Structure 1
């Protein structure tokens, strides 16, 4: 295994924040996403959104490129629902991320030192949720326990208890200390005869 620094995603020249977000003076946001596959999980989005709406911060929801932003009906001005928002533009504005725990979302959020509420649905997400909780940077709600009340209580803890943010920043420091793509590529393509691969001085 070769360690590799996690990146929150590229910002393309065409990427923009939606007008409803770009115009907001506040960067005090919660980001709710279930990724590109699990956004249709019955009731999970609805419970998470109902719990987050009660918090004193704005909520950004992404429902996937083939999702319907109108599925939740009318929302208060504090809630913005979009199909897609470039993660690398959105995360710097956030205080909290609520997601399924997919690796891209999870590591992207930790690259900005953000505490997380993880509601795993399948695959590696349960392992990611457990690792995040073990690091002290997240709270996980397992399937069948995701209710508006549970989401609201967990989110309040993540926002109010400073230990979660401190642990998330510690994960960010670990990410920043890992070698970047250029360093890993150089190491993988270096000739075996190169003294730099031997671990010993030439």
Structure 2
């Protein structure tokens, strides 16, 4: 039995992919302690792991969404990461040294600092597309390395990391010091997937959330359409109003997940529309015939695993890359959220739901997900990384 410390940042898209992995490690007898923000404590406790809720500077500062590590948001996001890491390190180093550090790769960079500080192996979990010299997110979000603000931020980070004996700042941000890097996406979905070395594509780990309940499907005379723009970047009352105002004449039963948007501003609800702040997404997807999604990787993988045709409305650069992949692989369609009209949206929903080619491609990709190995494959990699 090994002592494993798990670290995840504020953001459901970065916590959810690790829940099943932590549960599998606990099932195998490992002593896992999960350090997560309070809002995820109950979710993690259900895995059987010991949970230590930690504060988040992002949350206390009123940061509405997890920072976007790309494009024009990169410099500000790096500042958030430095602030979060600086605040958490004194708290986390006060806990016993583990045998291995398991952490979110894109955002929980304090896991890298801790692994170096304790001189223990680390395993990173990447819940998104990854980059190498053959394919990079720079295709969707250019970063100017000569921007004076970027240089100043790198110098600030370098100064902080030197306190812990870390001098290769570029390698630090690329995660090259990790013992293992797990990607919760099947290799077939990754752009240029065959060119990637040093990553293990274990596919999405849905865990016990498949047992989520609390939603009752409608009468079987109407197909179910799920509309969800995720837990972040989902403040689109204009889109929700357009769907509500045009749904009455559609043959669909619409399940609309709107986050923190005020439902009172959506207008009268027709009988075939239900609105919720959030829904047990996997439960709804088991009954859905189409899924309008922001193309976040978590929702995308859940839709594919359930073999539900996708209509993507990406809200940010990473989601645009996912949306293009959905379209390019024949798993659904991608629409421009800035120009989409109700007529175009309903037409796309009807088209993907009735297209046998989309169903065939979804079945193929769902098979790729199953073959990737999920939580058992991830746990095997973590055990292989142990001293």
Equivalent in the alignment of 1:25: 219
Runs of 4+ residues over 2 Å off in structure 1: 7-13, 15-18, 23-28, 41-55, 66-71
Q: Displacement of 1:50 after TM fit?
A: 4.6
Tell me, in whole angstroms, the C-alpha distance in 1 between the residues paired with 2:339 and 2:355. 22
Structure 1 alignment gaps of length 5 or more: 194-202
Structure 2 partner of 1:47: 242
Q: Cα deviation per residue 1:30-70 (whole Å; 9 max; x = unaligned)?
A: 00011122221352333344555543120000111x33233
- Helix, strand or coil: the match of 2:226? strand
Quick check: 1:16 aligned with 2:203? no
Q: Measure, in 2, the Cα distance between the counterparts of 1:114 and 1:37.
A: 22
TM-score (norm 1): 0.82
SS at match of 1:166: helix
Distance 2:386 2:207 in 1: 32
**What per-residue deviation string (whole Å, max 9, x for no partner) do you get for residues 114-143 of structure 1?**
110001110310000010001101111113
Two-structure CA RMSD over aligned residues (Å): 2.4
From 360, 363, 378, the counterpart of 1:169: 363
1:7/1:185 CA distance change after superposition, 3 Å = closer
- What is the distance in 1 between the residues matched to 2:322 and 2:282? 20
Q: Helix, strand or coil: the match of 2:256? A: strand
2: CA distance between counterparts of 1:191 and 1:102? 29
SS of equivalent residue, structure 1 residue 74: coil
The equivalent position to 2:274 in structure 1, one of 80, 83, 86, is: 80
3-state secondary structure, aligned to 2:314? coil
TM-score if structure 2 supplies the norm length? 0.45
Structure 1 pair 191–59 and aligned structure 2 pair: CA distance change class (3 A) = closer
How many pairs are equivalent? Answer: 188
Match among 342, 347, 361 for residue 148 of structure 1 = 342
Give the alignment of 1:180-195 within 5 angstroms: 180-190=374-384
Residue number in structure 2 paired with 1:91? 285
Q: Work out which of the two has the higher radius of gyration on C-alpha atoms and give 1 or 2.
A: 2
Matched with 2:314 is 120
Partner of 1:198: none
Cα deviation for residue 182 of structure 1 reads: 2.1
Of stretches 71-80 and 41-50 in structure 1, the one that deviates more from structure 2 is: 41-50
